[in-house]
Structure 1
Amino acid sequence: MSDRLGPLGLNQMTPEQRIAAQAIIDGPRGALYGPFVPLLRSPELMENAQRMGEHLRYRSAIGTRLSELAILVTARHWNQQVEWAIHAPIAAQSGISAELIAAIAARAAPQSMRADEAAVYQFSIELHQQKRVSEATYAAALALFGEHGVVDLMGINGYYTFLAMVMNAAQTPAPAAPGWTLAD
């Protein structure tokens, strides 16, 4: 597969693209990579997506560890290599066990999770597979995270689905991340 919407050189960018790219580089990500490479073709969309992603990734009501877990479930659902390569190491650093990461990668039922991880995992799995969440699963997430947390959890799943769709259609190549790849 070839990268359909690969990196643009500075001389190839419109003034709007340069401004949008610089905003990403100056923000918490520090560089233009992953989904922002293809999204740069639509600078306004990229800017809006980046703002949403910045909130969901860095300031969600469920915290980084659980946000990263939801991102991994989404990446696995979409077979999204870029998201997986970026977020599996972050999830591990944030406290998600290697066993849980491996189970998600293998599409296997995790054997051991903390209560908050189980709530995020089940919520995310149901949302992706059934396109809705059962009453029991919703109630469990609501009890742990409140309405704000549940809405942010919905947002994380939706946002990373959007990014997965963009990168899958653009055939964005995964960064070199030894040990952090998905088998289809």
Structure 2
Amino acid sequence: MAARLHAMTRLEPIRPEEQDAQQRDLHASITGGPRANGPQHFALTTPDGALRGPFNAFLLSPGLGGALERLGSAVRYTTSLSDRTRELAILAVAAHWSSAFEWEAHEAVGRAAGVTDAELDALRGGEVPTLGDQEEQAAAELVRCLLDGDVSDEEWGRWAEPLGDAVVFELCTLVGYYSTLALQMRVFRVG
């Protein structure tokens, strides 16, 4: 994955003491919600309590940021995707968009879900890794198609049909959500 380096962020951290009531409520829902439960594979906040990564930008518009937070939680915690399949997909999006924060955060989560060094190397290089599980392989191939912008009829028959419509919907939503975060972080120069 090629790193995009920017000299300066365009959005300074919004520290807890600077937040209005709506921002504090959203901050509390992010830091006290499902992302904060269980093992912590990446820090949600800086040492002074400001949100890291895309979550800081969510505070700019708490209504929309809250909707994105709920969508992200649903993508992470309520789909039928296995942890490995989900993390392989997220890492493919992170590599595609050169999203350093998403890569950092989800490399750790992916490793905890069993993603191997060889699989990480392939994803980092923009390739679909060779996977031992047919459903994981189909999902990874479908994610590559989605990142390229469409799924041909041949690809649909080969990758989407075996997964089923519900999984295809979940993967489309995952790719769209994490692509949105990658764009927001790129525009605000979040490293």
TM-score with structure 2 setting the length: 0.83
Matched letter for residue 11 of structure 1: E
2:157 counterpart (127, 130, 139): 139
CA distance in structure 2 between the partners assigned to 1:27 and 1:110 by the alignment: 32
CA apart distance, 1:147: 1.6
Q: What is the number of equivalent residue pairs in this alignment?
A: 172
CA apart distance, 1:110: 2.9
Structure 2 residues without counterparts, runs of 5 or longer? 1-6, 37-43, 45-50
1:158–1:27 Cα change, 3 Å: same
CA apart distance, 1:26: 1.3
2:185 counterpart (167, 177, 184): 167
CA distance in structure 1 between the partners assigned to 2:147 and 2:86 by the alignment: 15
CA distance in structure 2 between the partners assigned to 1:13 and 1:111 by the alignment: 46
Matched letter for residue 175 of structure 2: N
More relative contact order in 1 or in 2 (CA 8 Å, sep 6+)? Answer: 1
Number of the residue aligned with 1:54: 73
CA distance in structure 2 between the partners assigned to 1:111 and 1:148 by the alignment: 24
CA distance in structure 1 between the partners assigned to 2:59 and 2:115 by the alignment: 31
1:105 counterpart (124, 137, 149): 124
- Whether 1:27 and 2:33 are equivalent positions in the alignment is yes
**Superposition pairs of residues 15-94 of structure 1, within 5 angstroms:** 15-30=21-36, 31=44, 32-94=51-113
CA apart distance, 1:112: 4.7
CA distance in structure 1 between the partners assigned to 2:80 and 2:167 by the alignment: 5
CA apart distance, 1:109: 5.0
Moved over 6 A (4+): none
CA apart distance, 1:97: 2.1
Q: Is the 8 A contact 1:34 1:172 kept in 2?
A: yes
CA distance in structure 1 between the partners assigned to 2:28 and 2:63 by the alignment: 13
TM-score with structure 1 setting the length: 0.86
1:93–1:10 Cα change, 3 Å: closer
Number of the residue aligned with 1:114: 133
CA distance in structure 1 between the partners assigned to 2:60 and 2:147 by the alignment: 28
Number of the residue aligned with 1:181: none
Structure 1 residues without counterparts, runs of 5 or longer? 174-184
- Could you say what the CA RMSD is over the residues aligned between the two structures, in angstroms? 1.7
CA distance in structure 1 between the partners assigned to 2:70 and 2:23 by the alignment: 16
CA apart distance, 1:111: 4.4
SS at match of 1:29: helix
> Mean Cα displacement is larger for which, 21-30 or 104-113?
104-113
Number of the residue aligned with 2:15: 9
SS at match of 1:66: helix
Per-residue Cα deviation, 1:146-166 (whole angstroms, up to 9, x for no partner): 221110011000000000001
Q: Is the 8 A contact 1:6 1:38 kept in 2?
A: no
